[in-house]
Structure 1
């Protein structure tokens, strides 16, 4: 028994617990180190990718007027990624990604705009308006008292037309509302060019009519304004001038037309300052 016990006591004993614990700790350290390196590598790759994309978009938008910028959905995806990274304690990576966003401010709308576009978008929409002088090259029939439609110039001199249209002597309304309508015509008497007045000794009736074509199925003509006078222009008077100016407020609808008729249209002053037709929408 003693011999057996002595032999057992003489045999070396190996304690495996310290070796296993050390190996386990070293394995855990290596795993954490590898995970950390992979996370850092992926973060750096994200920084480089998004920085390149943002720099490229910024360069394109500064060099081209019609370049497309990142839209709101794309920026939202980036911001979501940043929030996720922040939650994972990657503050340096998040700051690197959001930095270019702070430097390059993208408008709230989907596309970049030039300074000219931004200036135009800041202006309120232009109200409907028109001012058309008489066409100087229009030759009217002489020796007639029958009212004749006047034709206007929509593209030269003092002419302008916005959010309205013009065709064949008529201004067309495109937006319903309350409009101020005005018209002016000047008749001039010059014996050197007005041969028809040599026979007029008892007076000449000069009239101006402003009409409104109501946009209905019948397209009925309504007389808005009328003015005139009887002038005694005879062969003993070499030169005379008479002007008629009218204006008033009228409710108009989209599709309605405005036009002017006058008697003795051949006597009209052809200068753009003397005879014109206009309208503009009020608030």
Structure 2
């Protein structure tokens, strides 16, 4: 099996220990191991100089797995390597919450044993695709997001107005700090923090969630995932920010942003005993009560 390993490009003790354990398991299973170039530089000299470790700068369809070591943010960055190649992603959690990176460090050996036996399932996750008029060079390079695409104000404390159309029909103008369009995967992230709903990963829906709206009747809205969303920003400043997961670009107020469902999915590896509902209960502490 040909396996790529990706992680945070800064030194973190918990990540390094997880990588050491991960590498031992992979080599024991006779896997061909490739580290992302920058991530390898954060590892011990023993790993960096190992003849059993190779390097990748980009991925292709010859890879069987990509293993992400970190938190959910690390997986979001890993997706920019996987793109539309269909390589399944395994998330090992050395971060905090871990809705996507669900394998804990103490379970690395047992989890990989199950995966190498083929005892796992694939969760296909929808993505968002964005285009702008006029075109923006940075967006053309990586124009998709797994969690959300968010519009927000820049260089001002004043609110912005986000004119919003759904399938070319006018919805409303949000008077707010910004607006989030979230996938089901991203519904437990930024959108949730702004009062958006939790959406199960297999739902065919997206969520529009305003950020601190001043028009108090504005509420999160669930829309079908085949909807084309067009956004136009007005405000006191001439520019605004658009984020695609963790990537941020600055756009002019003359820009029209068009967002729709991407034409590919990301494949997340889940163990057979994992369910989204169980993850939801554990991560959000649903049902927990200190009185009991």
TM bin, normalised by shorter chain, reads: under 0.3
The two structures have a TM-score, normalised by structure 2, of 0.24
Higher relative contact order (CA 8 A, sep 6+): 1
Structure ranking higher in helix proportion: 1
Of structures 1 and 2, the larger Rg is shown by 1
The two structures have a TM-score, normalised by structure 1, of 0.24
Structure ranking higher in strand proportion: 2
